[in-house]
Each structure stands twice: as structure tokens, then as C-alpha cells.
Structure 1
Amino acid sequence: MTTKPKAKKFRIRRSSQGAETQGADAIDAPITEGTTAVATDVETQPTGKSARAVRLPSAAGKAGGKAGRAQEPAAPTQQNSDQPTPQGAEAAIDAIKREGLTGRQLRMARRMAQKNGLAATSDYDAVRLLREAGIDPFQRTNMLDLVPSDKETQPAKTGRVQLPQTMELGKTTLPSTETMSPSEMRAIEIGEIQKDIARRRRKRLLLLFARLSAFVFLPTLFAGWYFYSVATPMYSSKSSFMVEQADGNSGTGLGSLLPSQLNANGDAIAVQDYLTSKVAMIRLDQDVGFKSHFASPDIDPIQRLDPNPTNEEAYKLYKKFVKIGYDPTEGSIRMEVVAADPQIAADFSVALVDYAEEIADDLSRRKREDHVRDARTSLDRAAQERRDAQAALVALQETSVLDPEGLIASLRQQISNVQIQLQEKELQLAALQDNARPNPARVEGVQGDVRRLQNLLTRLESKMTEATEGESSLAQKTAQIQMAQADLATADLIMQSALQTLKQTELEASRQVRYLTTSVRPVASEDPSYPRSFENTVLAFLIFSGIYLMISLTASILREQVSS
């Protein structure tokens, strides 16, 4: 904001020896035409050692195209700035002082008085004069009014007082020395602003400390109190074991170039999965009493189970207190079991190691049984195929020894007999149907006999047709016999190969036995391993601090987005 130029009070410091003489010379100096006259207001310091003289330079006046005025001597009398004002003016100024006007309002009143050409002795006097003149002393000025025009630079034409200029000694138009200078008022206002900023900073720091106390310090203090005073000491029992293969590096092919532990990785992972499963937790509870131990009232409420917990609740606690890790490079499984009693922790660990050994043995046994079962199934299938081939060969050999001509003669005789019987039955049926009231039961019986004889005749005729083919049917039977012999030979080879495979599978299964080796046996500890009070307290502090930081950043970003 651009402000109008302010009238300044120039002070000239003089030495204590010639202060009074120089001050008198300044007062008695004449005012000449075309030069700057000096009006002084000599003020002696309280110590009496030096005096200060105030000089206000101004333009001499306007020439107006006429001859200059004659020099006029200055009045020899000196007017004190502390000259008393009329009684009504003092009362008005006192009333204005009690209004509690701010420094900014007083400066606006002073500028308004200077703009309207009112000679005020102080800022409060300026307010009084403006109100008497019917002018609002606190009226906001236009930005264009802040720039002085050409008319305002000519105080002689407008009659407006414009500093610096010559002031008459007999008038009390100078500002009172009791009022503060603009620099002092500016310093006071800057001090107030600094105090307000410091007060706001203290308030914000207090609010920040309150928020940190509510969301970070108090939860951290509560967590530390829990870990140091309330949490039940827990004892850990550590163990380590490996799943190894019996045959080592024996064998051929790429599998012999790999270490045995790499070949047993699948079994080790299967053992780890079983130990971390709900089945292992249920079995441990049935054998050792996992739920009853952690449902004991000696354990703190946060880590304690309910009197009748479900398997899901117990399994959550099981995953927390049973930690199992697998190292694929070494093939070692490391297990840590935590409990409120050191001996119980060791018992839990021993039971879990036994479970792991049973699972390793069961996996290897199942592998051996699967391989041997597949080999035996192949052998049984080959034996059955061989028996089927032998049966087919025997059946073909039995049918090939018949005489084709005798078979044809026999078929012809059978056909003639069936034809005679069929004719008799047809005549009998016709005789029954010629009656006016035939017996339905007899008619149906004869009709059935006729139908059966016709079917028999059809079969015999088809056999007769096949038999009349002669040598072609005999050749087909011979080829069938040869094919049956070839099938039998193939079945013999397959059965021999299946038998050899079974023997080799049984040998390999005996070499691929997996067994569990316990390198570190579980031992009951003497000192509690958990809770780690200091580490857990620091971790809680970091977690609460991170949560508070995320929430505060999110809130500040949202507030900035909403305000923008």
C-alpha cells in the first residue's frame, strides 16, 4: 500500500556549550524572500546539558508574477510547544483518548488533517479538528488520492498547509513533543506484531504437544507400562532338526550330482507346513494341553485364552508362540516354542519334534509304497493279459478240429427236421383258427411254437451259409490261431519286464528312505525371553508416531485442497 509523504520533525543536536546561543540565533533569524525561513522550538533536555532545535524548511510563498515582498523580521518572542489549550479542547482530547483508538486510526486522522489543511498539535487534536469540520477522520482513502497532484503541490493556491514550509513563531501549529514519533509508533506496532506471532507460536506448540501427548506419548506410556509391569514373562525353547536321505550321493544321472539335502527339500517343506498347521495344534492340545496352559489365570489378560476357546482362537495364539523357519541352503528347520513355564515350553518342543519325525517317516513310507504299488499293478495287468491270450488261443484250437462236411450234413438234417415241425404247427394253428369259437390259450401256445421254430430255422440256415463257404472259413480260423500265439508271446515279454521293474522299484525304495536328524535338542530355559520391554516400547512409539504423522499429513492436504 502506497502512503502519502509524512511530515517529519528534524532534530539538530548541538553541543552543550553553544546550545542556547545557537538556539537563540535560530529563533531570531529573519525570514527573507525566496529563501527558506526557520521556525524553531527549543527544548531543553531534562539534564540541562544540551538543547535541541527543530527546523522545518518550507517554500517562501508564491511570486505570482509580482515583485518580491519586503523582508519581515521574525518575532523575537518564542512560543513553547507545551502551551495550554482552551478548556473545551482539552476535554474533547481527553474524551478522544478514552476511546481507545489504534495507532493506525491516529495515523489516518493525521494524514486526513494534513490533506484538509488543518493545523493539529497532536494526533488526537487532528481527530478533534476533523470532527469539528464535519469530516470522518477514519475514512479510507482512494489509491489515486495517495499520489499528490499538481494542485496539491501548490499550497499557496489551495490554502492547504504543505510541509516543509515556513511556520510563524506566534502560532502553536507544531505537533506536541509529548506525542510519539512515527518511528517509535512503528517500533511499538512491530513489537506488538512480534508478541502476537510469539503468542500464536506458543499456542500452536501447546496444541501440538497436546495432540502428541494424546495420540503418541500416552499410548506409548501405556504400552511401556504393560510391557514392564503387566505382561507375563515368557520362556522360549529352541530346537533344530534336518530331514535327510538314506542313499546319499549314490546313483547315476543328474540326481547323483546334486546333494542329498537338495533332494529332500520337498519333505522338509512338507514337515514345516504340518508343524504350522491347525492339525498339529489340535494334536498338541490333545497330547500336552496347549489350550489349558494358555487359559491359565496366571497369564495376563491380553495373552490369555478364554476358559473354553475355539480352535481358531487357539490357532491364532499357536502361530504367535510357535515360530518355525526353514533354511533351504542348509536344509535345516529351526523351531522356537514360547510358553509361560520353561518346562512346558520344552515339552511342547519335544512333542512337535516327534510329530515332525512321524511325518518324515510317513512321507518316505508313502513314497515307497506308492512306487511298489504301481510296479505290482503293472505286473498284475501283464499277467492278466497273458492269461487272456492263452484262453483265446485254446478256444481257437478247439473250434478248428471240426469237420466242415459233417457239420454241413448235420445242419441240413436239422433244418429239414425243423421245417417238418414248423409245418405241423402251422397246420395245427390253422385247424384251431377254423373253429367258430377257438380256445385262445391253445391258439397262443401254438403261435409261440411256430415263432420259436421259425427263429431256430433262421439260425440253422445262417450256420449253413457259413459252413458252405468251405476253405475260406478254415483259413480265417488258422490266421486267428497265429495271431493268438503272437499275442501270447507279447504278453510273456510284458510280464517279464513288469517283474523286473518290481524288483528294481523295491530296491530303489529301500534306498530312498527319509529320516529326521535332531541337531539341537530342546532345553528348558532359566531366564524369560519375552517380552522385550525396551524394544517393544520403542516399536510402539514408532508405530504411534507413524500413524499420527500419516493422519496429520492427510488432514493438512485435505484442508489445503478444501481451502483452495
Structure 2
Amino acid sequence: MSMYAQKELEKRLLEFKRSIADSEWSNEVYLKQKIESFEEKDVELAFRIMQRVKVLNPSDENQRKLQQLGAKALESNPDLKSISTVEKVKKLSSKSVVNKLSLSESLLKLKGRLGLIKRPFYLFVLLPFLILTVYFVLIASPRYESQTKFIVKEPDGLATLDPAMAVLSGFGVQSSNLDTELVQAFINSNDMMNYLEERIGFRTHFSDSDQDFFSRLSSNASIESQFAYFLKRIEVEIDQDSQIISVFAQGFDPVFAKKMTEAILERAEWYINEIGHLLAKEQMAFVMGEHELVEKKLQGAKSRLLDFQRQHAILDPEAEGLARQQITYQLEGSIAAKRAEVNSMLSSMSNTAPAVVQAVSQLNGLIEQLKAERAKLANSDSLENNLNQLSIGEILAKFSDYKIDLELALQAYAASQVSIEKSRIEAYRQLKYLVVVESPTTPENDKYPDIFYNLSLAFALLLMLFGIGKIIIATVEELR
């Protein structure tokens, strides 16, 4: 066959390839069907297509078929001897032909693999997963976690109190979990972060440039970003049954992780003690201030009562009134006896008799004395602003007012004393303290990042997102 004929054959092969789809060009079954249709009318083209099938599947059957078509093409056109491809077919058993075919097959497979990489699944799932695997396995900085456990306790006041004071102070009532939640809130606060910075250099450690970019704290991070990063490096858990507080702190090395938990434990203990002392001081200061007011009222009531007694020279107006009433009763009896004596004397003597005059004079004296005593008991004409002219009844009334004020002041003073004692006990209850259940640990192995968990989660999310994307694309194409 001349060079022109060879070019014509290659042209027919190219036209055939263009007339079919790329998938059909790689479909062995489809090409074999075409070979059968071309075998009678264009055996040379059938032979060239069979070469393609041989590349796709170099099986023994395909090799035999290729040799048969080569022989037919040679019989049909003896000039095929000049074609290198026909000579190669006649010498397929030689080593050089096998090597060349193997090279062509390898190039085809490589091309197919490169085509696979361009597929969406490899691009959006496997490639990101491979990048994450490289990061977590080779790049991510290991983080160590130290932990400590403690519980907030309060003094057992029942052991030091009598039952009455225990009931009065409220001991024996179950304490709420307010203290543990208060400690948890303090640990997760900016104050704790600032304390850790002053104590152990929190920001310096976590912004070390030797750590990977995604794990470390940015050197120019804002306060809000620093606090958010701080919350990611500590964890506080509360057991609702036992109220035990567990603190977990992370660090880029085991020593720093332990220092961090030790500092948190120390500061939490200081905080709970400070809160207890502050509440106790404020409570006692308020109660003592109220007690001072009550004490001043008591002293004032005593002073007014003593001044009243001193001014009237009366120790007990009630006793004084009873004594004066007794005197009036005695005077009335004496007057009655004297009047009977005068009447008896007048029956036997004249009015001018010395004995009668003397008896009448004594009777009149007793009557005047009785009037004076009665005036002292109830002097309605005395002025209220002139205490020296008060009657016994008025003195007794004012004395009763002063005495009632004193009794009320004494009752308030007694209640204030009880309140002071109760406040003292309550202040004693406010003095909470921490009991360490587990001392800060020194980790030996890094706990974070959890490579298996992170990669499994990432792969699941990538698959889910890829599936959602495929569904969306399919829906859009269907709507078109």
C-alpha cells in the first residue's frame, strides 16, 4: 500500500472516531459490533479498530482476532507488508511489540486515572479529606490535657450549736448548687484569663510561633478573640448528683497544662473564700449597725425614766399612789372617829367648852389634810408643762409611758442580741472552702487533636455535603 493509501486508511479511522461518542470509543462491546459490520466491506478499517480493542483489553481472544483480521487485510491487499502496523501484527509474539503495546496500555490507564481525579467526588470529597489528613497527622500541634476535681463545702454548724440555735439559724436545710455554679462562672470569666496571664503567661504560651497556625492564638488578637480562645482551652463540668466540679485545661506541653489547672484551682479557692468573708462582713456590719440603733434607743428610754424619777423624787409612782390612797383611807377613818367624838361631847358640853373647841379644831385639821391628800392624788387644775404641779395620777400615767418605752426598748434589745447571734452563725455558714477530690494531673500522652474522630467527622460531613450538592444539581437539571 502506498503512503497515500495509508493516509486514507488513517483518515477513515479518524472519521469513524469522530462519528461516535467518546464513551463508545472506549466501549469494547460497541467497537466489536462495528468491527463485524466493517469486516466484509472494509477489512483494513476493521483491523485498525481491532487494534483499539486490543489496547482496551489485551486478552488472548482479542489478540487472536487481531491476527485474523491482519491476515485478511494482507490477503485483501498485499501492499500491507509495507505498513508498519501490519508487520507488527505479524510479529506480535516478539518482545519489542509486547513492550510497545504495554507502554500504550500504561499511558491509557494513566490518562484514565487523571480523568478520575477530575471527577466531582475526587475533587470535593477525597481531595479535601486528604488535605485534612495531612494536616491532622503531620502539621497539627499536639495538645495535652490536665484535670482536677474539687467540691465546695461549708462548715458543719450542727456539731457546735444547741438544737434551738440550729433551728433558729436554719442549719440542716439542704444547700443549693449555687456555689458550684458560681465557681463555674468565675472560672469561665475574663478575670480568670487575666489571672492566668499574670501567673503563668497564658497568652505567651498559646501564641508561640512554633505551634501550627490554626492551633495557636494570634499575637494581635483582640480581647474578645483571646477570651473565645481561652474558653476553647478549658472545660468545667459539674456532677449534678455529687456537685463535684471537674476542670480540664489544655496546653501545648504537659507541664504547662498542669500549671494551668493548679492556677485555676488556687484562684477558685481564693474566690470562694473571698466571697464568703465579704458576705459575712457585710451581713455582720449591717446587723451591728442596727444593734447600735436599738442600744441607743434603750439608753434613751432609761435616761428619760431616771430623769423623771429624779425630778419628782419618786422611785415608784405606783407604790406612791397606793401609799397616798392608804393615807386618805386612814384620814377618812380618823375623821369619822373624831366627828363621832365631837358629837358625843356636844351632847354633854357647850360649843365653847375648851374640850369641844379642841376636838372641833382637830376634826377640821383632819378634813383639811384629807382634802390636801385627795388633791395630790387627782389635781385637775395642774399645768401639764409644770411637772412639779402634776398630780399622782398624772405622774403615774407619764411614768407608765416611760416604763412601756423602756420595756419595748428592752425587748428590741433582746431581739437584736438574738439577731446578732443568728447573723454570726449565718456568717460562719458563709465561710465556704474547697475540698480537692483529685489533684491536678500531669498528662503523658496528647489528647487533642483526636485524629480518628476529626477525620471521621470530616469525611461524613464531606459526603453529606457532596450528596446534597448532587441532589441540588440533579433537581436543577431536571427542572430545565
* TM-score interval (norm. to shorter): 0.5 to 0.7
Aligned to 2:293: 381
Write the mapping of 1:4-403 to structure 2, written as runs, cut at 5 A: 210-247=119-156, 263=175, 265-390=177-302
CA 1:236/1:395 → structure 2, altered by over 3 Å: closer, same or farther?
A: same
**Structure 1 alignment gaps of length 5 or more:** 1-205, 402-468
CA 1:544/1:471 → structure 2, altered by over 3 Å: closer, same or farther?
A: farther
CA-to-aligned-CA distance 1:247-274 (integer Å, 9 cap, x gap): 076565697666xxx6262211111110
**Structure 2 alignment gaps of length 5 or more:** 1-114, 314-379
Instruction: State the AA in 2 paired with 1:516.
Output: L
- The size of the alignment, in residue pairs, is 287
Instruction: State the AA in 1 paired with 2:411.
Output: L
Aligned to 1:59: none
CA contact (8 A) 1:267 1:363 kept: no
Cα deviation for residue 320 of structure 1 reads 0.7
- Separation in 1 of the partners of 2:475 and 2:186? 49
CA-to-aligned-CA distance 1:212-231 (integer Å, 9 cap, x gap): 33333222222221111110
Cα deviation for residue 329 of structure 1 reads 0.6
The equivalent position to 1:531 in structure 2, one of 429, 436, 449, is 449
CA 1:360/1:309 → structure 2, altered by over 3 Å: closer, same or farther?
A: same
- Separation in 2 of the partners of 1:386 and 1:312? 58
Flag the structure with higher helix content.
Answer: 2
- Separation in 1 of the partners of 2:475 and 2:447? 44
Aligned to 1:496: 414
CA-to-aligned-CA distance 1:504-556 (integer Å, 9 cap, x gap): 43245335532111121113222211111121111112223333444555566
CA contact (8 A) 2:150 2:245 kept: yes
- Rg larger in 1 or in 2? 1
Equivalent pairs: percent with the same residue? 23
Cα deviation for residue 498 of structure 1 reads 0.8
CA 1:539/1:509 → structure 2, altered by over 3 Å: closer, same or farther?
A: same
CA-to-aligned-CA distance 1:335-384 (integer Å, 9 cap, x gap): 11111111111111111110111112123223332442333133112113
Aligned to 1:154: none
CA contact (8 A) 2:235 2:247 kept: yes
- Separation in 2 of the partners of 1:399 and 1:552? 108
CA 1:345/1:394 → structure 2, altered by over 3 Å: closer, same or farther?
A: same
CA contact (8 A) 2:117 2:123 kept: no
TM-score by length of 1: 0.45
CA contact (8 A) 1:247 1:512 kept: no
Aligned to 1:438: none
Secondary structure (helix, strand or coil) at the match of 2:119 reads helix
Instruction: State the AA in 2 paired with 1:537.
Output: L
Instruction: State the AA in 2 paired with 1:538.
Output: S
CA RMSD between the two structures: 3.5
CA contact (8 A) 1:235 1:528 kept: yes
Cα deviation for residue 490 of structure 1 reads 0.6
- Separation in 1 of the partners of 2:294 and 2:304? 16
Instruction: State the AA in 2 paired with 1:237.
Output: S
Aligned to 1:175: none
Instruction: State the AA in 2 paired with 1:524.
Output: T
TM-score by length of 2: 0.53
CA 1:489/1:255 → structure 2, altered by over 3 Å: closer, same or farther?
A: closer
The higher-RCO structure (CA 8 Å, 6+ apart) is: 2
CA contact (8 A) 1:243 1:264 kept: no
- Separation in 2 of the partners of 1:385 and 1:246? 36
CA-to-aligned-CA distance 1:382-436 (integer Å, 9 cap, x gap): 11322444566578789999xxxxxxxxxxxxxxxxxxxxxxxxxxxxxxxxxxx
Instruction: State the AA in 2 paired with 1:510.
Output: Y
